Amino acid sequence: MIVRYAIDAVVELSVIASFTRIGPAIRRRLFAWDAAEPGSLKGRTALVTGPTSGLGRAVVDDLARLGARVVLVARSADRLARVRDELIAAHGGDRFPIVVADMGSLTSVRAAVAEVLATETRLDIVVDNAGAIFPERTVGPDGIEATLAVLVVGPFALIGGLLPLLRTTPAARVIAMTSGGQYTQALDLDDLQTAAASYAGALAYARAKRAQVCLVREWARRLAADDVTFCAMHPGWADTPGLADTLPGFYNVMRRLLRTPSEGAATASWLAATADVGRFNGKLVLDRRARPFDRVPWTVVSPADRRHLWDQVVGLSGMPDPLPSA
């Protein structure tokens, strides 16, 4: 077993082997990964944001195969209806309700929360997957920079609103889909909305993902006494429309090594199903193992700064603090 972990550590340090499809190919053999049994999530309810393409689409297919009821949350009613119909055809059962919501609009997020609370009696799994990259700095309907709104403030308001339902569901879990780009960016807590610094869409996205991961750690800290697990998962470098559109040079160079969407989403699906999810509370997970939050020292966010970030996001969300810190 020591040799296996040593090989895994070398793969992780190499980055390219770890993040591409080489990583799961090696680790699957090293650790003899087992697959969850079809139907193993029967009777459980999941909610997935951004389920109409890419990693989100792969996650909902996995959860549907495992028998879960899956609430589909996205902006487009037409695309949601198409995904719902495909899921029913592939997996059977009318268990894929749709909730039309724009994660960049707090009014829309609050309406989605109200709808879920009114229609669902339990919530076992939340997969925070929705994302967007804006080529130019854009301000959303609430006066918040759009990348921060979609990736950070909107999901925070969604989870905060759904927290009562999560807390009454045994072994509930929230899984945040992050990105390798977050390793490269530091957070400027004095300019969280990139108002003063020069704006680049991919960098704003990476900083928002770092903020997302920091908030996962803070959710886990503040809910340590509850039976709700918060973790982030890193999909590696996956072949998705978003990657092809935003980083075409990188995409063309790495295309043959990129993970499929299913390979990228596999850790999220595993975290949704495993009974052992509690050991990953407050952790960042790639290929079924906890990984470092930081790869370079200048991106480290201290506990005090995570609390400061939390307070800023609470203020931007316009909601009462769902978990005031002791």
Tens of pLDDT along 141-150? Answer: 999 999 999 9
DSSP 8-class letter at 53: S
pLDDT tens for 273-321 read 999 999 999 999 999 999 999 988 999 999 999 999 999 999 999 999 9
User: pLDDT class for 326, splitting at 50, 70, 90?
Assistant: low
CB-based burial label for 105 (10 Å; 0-12, 13-18, 19+): buried
pLDDT for 246 equals 78
What stretches of 178-262 adopt beta strand conformation (E)? 228-233
Domains annotated on the chain, with CATH = 1-33 (no CATH), 37-317 (3.40.50.720)
User: pLDDT class for 242, splitting at 50, 70, 90?
Assistant: confident
* Percent with pLDDT over 90 in the chain: 88
pLDDT tens for 85-119 read 999 999 989 999 999 999 999 999 999 999 999 99
pLDDT for 238 equals 93
pTM of the full structure: 0.96
The amino acid occupying position 284 is L
Q: Which one is catalytic: 5, 183, 205, 251? A: 205
The amino acid occupying position 13 is L
pLDDT for 173 equals 98
Instruction: Give helix 303-317 / helix 154-167 axis angle, nearest 10°.
Output: 100
Distance in Å from the first CA to the final CA of the chain: 40
Report how far residue 281's alpha carbon sits from residue 224's, in angstroms, rounded to the nearest whole number. 8
- Residue 17 and residue 221 in contact, taking contact as beta carbons nearer than 8 Å: no
**205 included as an active-site residue:** yes
Angle 181-61-237 from CA coordinates, rounded to 5°? 20
